[in-house]
Structure 1
Amino acid sequence: MSTVMYWDGGGWAWMAFMPLLWVVLLGLVIWAVVRLTHPAGHDSSSHGWKQPPRETPKEILDRRFACGEIDAATYTEARERLAAHEPGPR
């Protein structure tokens, strides 16, 4: 006959604690994934996340000319068109 010894030192407590442990562990994993996949900066005007500043049409044109994407004639013509469509003081 074999004698099997069981340790009954709070088995019910572990059974009650384990679901709570898994919920906390799952919450930590979700928090870590969100934290690593989103930028760290916060800005109240954009629902909590910083947005890169938007370039104006003039800034885009200047950047494209500076990078050599467009030539001087195209740049000058586009600047004149932009100036014609800019809202002025009324």
Structure 2
Amino acid sequence: MMMFWWIVIGLIVVAAVFLPLSNWLGKNQRTGDSPIQILEKRYAKGEISKEEFEEQKNNLKRK
């Protein structure tokens, strides 16, 4: 009977580590945006200036 509880505790620990990790990884992989779209979103949010936006956009178009 004691072995049963160790298995239950082990499963809870594995779930507590795996579920948040898989959720975090899934969120990072779901974005199908192109680099230009990501750049446009960053500019729209005000994360980068117009000069940075133009410079990075030109860099991306050169590649």
Instruction: Find out whether 1:76 has 2:47 as its counterpart.
Output: no
Deviation at 1:56, TM superposition (A): 4.4
Segments of structure 1 that go 5 or more residues without pairing to the other structure are 1-20, 41-48, 86-90
CA–CA distance in 2 between the matches of 1:23 and 1:59?
53
How far 1:25 sits from its partner (Å)? 0.9
Q: Name the larger-Rg structure.
A: 1
Which of 35, 43, 48 is the aligned partner of 1:65?
43
If the length of structure 2 is used for normalisation, what is the TM-score? 0.63
| TM-score normalised by length of structure 1 | 0.49
Q: Which residue number corresponds to residue 37 of structure 1?
A: 17
Question: What fraction of aligned residue pairs are identical, expressed as a percent?
Answer: 21
Larger relative contact order (CA 8 Å, sep ≥ 6): 2
State the superposition RMSD in angstroms: 2.4
